[in-house]
Copies of this chain bind each other. A is one copy, B any other.
Amino acid sequence: MNISRPAVHPVEAPPLTDAAENRPRVRMKDIQGMSGTAGGLALRLCQFAFALAALAVMVSTSDFTSVTAFCYLVAAAILQSLWSLSLAILDIYALLVKRCLRNPRVVCLFAIGDWITSSLTFAAACACAGITVLIGNDMNLCAENHCPSFETATAMAFISWFAVSPSFFLNFWVLASR
């Protein structure tokens, strides 16, 4: 009785839901780098590590507070690292419980968040690059300034932005193609 009960009437339902569940999963699973995949987790950790490196290098210079753009880089790097760390934790959770993060609202939230944080990081990196080039090449004031530190922090911020871009594009792509 225990065996016949589930076998009698819900037989039609499992294959249907199975097919409906499997088709998107297989198509989506192909793209490494999306939220909930090992590639996505690697991207998030990369973003987090480089944003943290940019933050650490910039804060290690004593006089970064005298330039607005450097303070802005610090703020942007803090935001980027917090965002990437949160999504990395979410990815780890999704990988552990084998759930996929493909709810359209969640993907939309990820895409918007990625766009905002990547724009801020990129803007900060560009502003710092402009000032670093101004100090180093245009005014030749590197002797009095921590040019190598500024350059390193800028490069780290650019790499962090470079790692956010695939996440954003994949999320946006998933959102548009659903």
Contacts and interface: CB of A to CB of B under 8 A. Distances in A.
B172 A69 contact: no
A24 interface: no
Contacts of A122: 119, 122-123, 126
Contact of A127 (B119, B129, B177): B129
7 contacts: A68-B133, A68-B137, A69-B133, A119-B122, A127-B130, A172-B173, A173-B176
A138 interface: yes
Copies assembled = 2
Interface in A103-133: 119, 122-124, 126-131, 133
In which size bucket is the chain A interface?
20 to 34
A interface: dominant SS: helix
A128 B126 CA distance: 9
A142 interface: no
A122 B72 CA distance: 16
A11 interface: no
A38 to B, nearest CB: 23
A67 interface: yes
